[in-house]
Structure 1
């Protein structure tokens, strides 16, 4: 049974060929730096600071990160050059394909199904070394790094299996690969004429755990480690230049990300014949649940929760759930069908309904349960939400402890308001989706696109202006491109 052609995880209700945007009125007040100095801005962070978009680091993304937009706006108040470790790639690198590297994601229309969704643009390039002078860099954003890997030299190499911290996107511009660190390089830049810095780290200390369906607890940073590493990273920057001020961003809620919303809980379409066949396969399982409920081993509510029943139309998929009562000794697996409260991850879009291990009897989501790494259960969502709340508390406390030199940029609040439809510019909204023209996330479902980065840059500008009496002009988000229309 093959269901690939029936699974449509994104529906674009309409395609807009052109858009007219209303530009905001220009600032009337004279631009001023206030009590801060923006002569040389240093930006430290992960993929968000680097401008990673559409599943790749490529030229357009790099050129439109919030850090670059902020630096461009700061030129009006004395800001200088802002040098980025150029990737020099139009398409970047998304993944390896049968014929070599594949580039960034673009929206495409499947000629067989008519469904519109992300797919690689075609050929891409493996990231090469930065050819400029690393001592002149301003942007130290490295996709994929955590607080730990920002602090340790192994991030720059060597590239061996025994070094899981290795990150090619840092090695390519590290001052001394295998010896230097991201934080050390940024601190050196601050000491060498830096006057202001932005800091946005910590997202990956929880994001990797979440995007993997909360299936690998070993990669979730503990509260103690997060607090200690945050203090070490911020402390190194503050100590590098006693006069430099900084803006520190917090961690957005993962509930905002399309990565966790594009695949609906009932993404499995079945005909009546397919549903009848699948139900026959689960008749013994459902009967077994009734028996153990009769023995008092599970409640009637859990029996109903675990029961598998398909019908014609859209269905919840069969999935593993380790939070269920363990009945393996009685021959019953810990499985159930997905419910509205579950959140599937984006990779399930290409895995659901597929044959597993070349065995046509094993269909993922029907006769083979969807694995833990593809789904966040309500309990796992709550765990992640609590972790983000704790991490943001540590970030806020660190900023308050250095209140004379640091300001908090509440990106979490901004993106929550985006989800609620409360953010716009010139009458044009920003939405928590990948759908052009208003969608604010790039096609990987995790990273903002260029237009959303402009909103983030404006939030940095607002907080900096409020804190230090500056008047950095705000950017016009509608001058920045969102996602391209489908090809």
Structure 2
């Protein structure tokens, strides 16, 4: 079979006259703190709190996290300095390349095809030790951590095993590397004059499982473990200063993330000749399905669901599906073509149609089934959605149990509104995409960009103002850039 070029998603970029927009004037009285004290804010969380964007932790992202924005707005009501463990890198670290560390993702245009998509900017920096005063830190956001790795002396996270730099993200500023914990350090900062805290953990207890195509159940946190670990982590913060108040965020739906929407289910383009050649390879498989149906092993509906049939134009890719009836006794694998209800993960964009193991006869998605780690089936999507709902229930219950001191920040609801096109500033929408200027997600398809972080900061501010009668001013999201235009 002729080699089929790898799928590269195309971003349609309009002509941009300007990226500066108006923000409605806020009619509020002189800022006051209400019944809360913002003298010293401590933030604890994962990559979202750290400002991780574009597949890397780098200077611009770190300084444009919601935590930094919230602290800046709180200065008008008595808030003090907010120190972050500076990464001191313009490009950060995305992955290792043949010549060394590669930096954050940027949009690039393929000179041969004209297709636009993310690629490393070039040279990056491996995370170096923080050289500032650790005792003065306010932001304890650590990319990659789960609730478990926040409360034990461990510096890595299971959701990004391909990126060894994550093992350095806490170690580089830990009070006692190898012994201290993220929660322990944050609680110590709160005990040392802290008056208010933000808490946003739990995302990675399900995100790693989802981004891996639900292929590794061992990294999906159980309900019982999540509830126990949440109680330990949040309890440590509450006990560190019994007068401090806090804002606790929940877990967004993964259906919002471009990581699961950028690669369409029918991402394989084929000519009629290519389709005919591929179909010949599945004639025996399709025939075997018919025999299994006649023997009563599968229904007619499952036979139709499993049949592989390519045609000229865009096609679904052949994929593994463990939820199909096991017909291995007949020599038939559990495979089918992708449907509109499946969600491919972003890494498939560079793997689809490519030779597996360098063998030109094994093309991923055509003559070789796409592996489980690249796709979420409808059953897996339901499992993940149910898990997030359960985790958010535990978070809500924990907040309600301490309602005199905590407020829930429903980020899940905010991002669902983004997906529905209901969020804007000054008439300029925020969209659940990576396409500039309106796209709210950075180029890794998972983490918000700076403009989206401004909306998240405002969501925190709204919840805080309502809960404690403060009137902290909101930030203007349109003062923050989304994703850079292609280079």
Question: How does the TM-score come out when normalised to structure 2?
Answer: 0.97
Tell me what 1:358 maps to: 358
| C-alpha distance in 2 between matches for 1:108 and 1:2 | 24
Counterpart in the other structure of 2:43: 43
Shift of 1:24: 1.7
State the Cα deviation string for residues 177-235 of structure 1 (Å, max 9, x = none). Answer: 00100000000000001000000000000000000000000000000000000000000
Counterpart-to-counterpart distance in 1, 2:16 and 2:217:
43
Contact 1:156 1:174 in 2 (8 A): no
Secondary structure of residue in 2 paired with 1:148: helix
- Structure 2: how far apart are the matches of 1:38 and 1:56? 30
Q: Where in structure 1 do 4 or more consecutive aligned residues deviate above 3 Å? A: none
Secondary structure of residue in 1 paired with 2:408: strand
- Per the alignment, residue 14 of structure 1 pairs with 14
What's the counterpart of residue 152 of structure 1? 152
Gaps of 5+ in 2: none
Q: Tell me, which stretches of 5 or more residues in structure 1 are unaligned?
A: none
Answer yes or no: is 1:418 the counterpart of 2:418: yes
* Structure 1 segment 66-465 matched on structure 2, within 5 A: 66-155=66-155, 167-465=167-465
5 Å matches for 1:53-68? Answer: 53-68=53-68
Superposition deviation, residue 16 in structure 1: 2.0
The Cα shift of 1:13 comes to 4.3
Distance in structure 1 (CA, Å) of the matches to 2:372 and 2:223: 24
Cα deviation, 1:126-181, whole Å, max 9, x if unaligned, reads: 00000001100000000000000000013289xxx9xx998210000000000100
Instruction: Provide closer, same or farther for how the CA distance between residues 410 and 187 of structure 1 changes in structure 2, counting only shifts above 3 A.
Output: same
Post-superposition CA distance 1:417-474 (Å, at most 9, x none): 0000000000100000000000000000000000000000000000000000001001
In structure 1, what is the Cα distance between the partners aligned to 2:53 and 2:441?
Answer: 8
| In structure 2, distance between residues paired with 1:86 and 1:104 | 16
Q: Distance in 1 between matches of 2:189 and 2:27?
A: 32
Residue 113 of structure 1 and its aligned partner are, at CA, apart by: 1.1
Give me the whole-angstrom Cα distance separating, in 1, the residues matched to 2:174 and 2:80: 22
Q: Is contact 2:8–2:350 with CA below 8 Å preserved after alignment? A: no
Aligned length in residues? 481
Looking at structure 2, the residues matched to 174 and 197 of structure 1 have their Cα atoms a distance apart, in angstroms, of 19
Aligned-pair CA distance for 1:17: 5.0
| Structure-2 separation of matches of 1:40 and 1:428 | 33
For residue 150 of structure 1, give the secondary structure of its aligned residue in structure 2.
helix
Q: Contact 1:94/1:101 (CA < 8 Å) preserved in 2? A: yes
Deviation at residue 15 of structure 1 after TM alignment: 4.2
Residue 150 of structure 2 aligns to a residue whose secondary structure is coil
- Cα deviation 1:47-82 (Å, max 9, x = unaligned): 000000000000000000000000000001000000
Deviations 1:253-292 (A, max 9, x none): 0000000000000001111111010000001110110011
| 3-state SS of paired residue (1:230) | helix
CA distance in 2, matches of 1:326, 1:68: 52
C-alpha distance in structure 2 between counterparts of 1:357 and 1:17, whole Å: 46
Instruction: Give 1:2 shift.
Output: 2.5
CA distance in 1, matches of 2:16, 2:282: 45
The Cα RMSD (Å) is 1.4
Contact kept in structure 2, 1:263 and 1:349, CA below 8 Å: yes
